[in-house]
Amino acid sequence: MPKLTVFSRQSPPATYDHPRPDRRVEGNPLRTTHEHFAAPQGDLVAGIWACEPGAWRIAFAEGKDEFFCVIEGRIRITDSDGEATEFGPGEAGVIPAGFTGTFAVLEAVRKHYVVLERVAGSGL
């Protein structure tokens, strides 16, 4: 029987990375991911993501959506038309499939994330 995933009862190992050099806009922030859940079929992952201040260009693949909710800190997401939206603690949003723009961490951030990746022809 599948078990409930309770983030506060887990301590998954961290993975670390930086934005790709060709996408960096400001700084070279360290990004830390704690993946708390991964669906067996690999199409859904969830966890907590943290990052130092900095900015980089993002380009979401078709079929990949991310829901997030900021726990602490502040971010600004600017779309390719130049429309910017800031998010702080308790605020949530969805980065839709095919989205392009800039992701800026204004204050060191921690956020909950849920990523859904639909595979072509899967019906999802």
- pLDDT over 70 at 120, yes or no: no
Instruction: Name the CATH topology of 33-117.
Output: Jelly Rolls (2.60.120)
Q: Which residues pair with 105 in a beta bridge?
A: 54, 75
Question: Where exactly are the structural domains of the chain?
Answer: 33-117
pLDDT digits 0-9 by tens, 25-58:
999 999 999 999 999 888 999 999 999 999 999 9
As a whole-number percent, the residues of the chain with pLDDT over 70 amount to 96
pLDDT tops 60 at residue 1: yes
Supply the pTM of this predicted model: 0.92
Task: Average the pLDDT over 80-109 and give the result.
Answer: 98
Q: Which residues of 38-63 are buried (b: 16+ CB within 10 A; e: fewer)?
A: eeeeebebbbbbbbbbbbbbbebeee
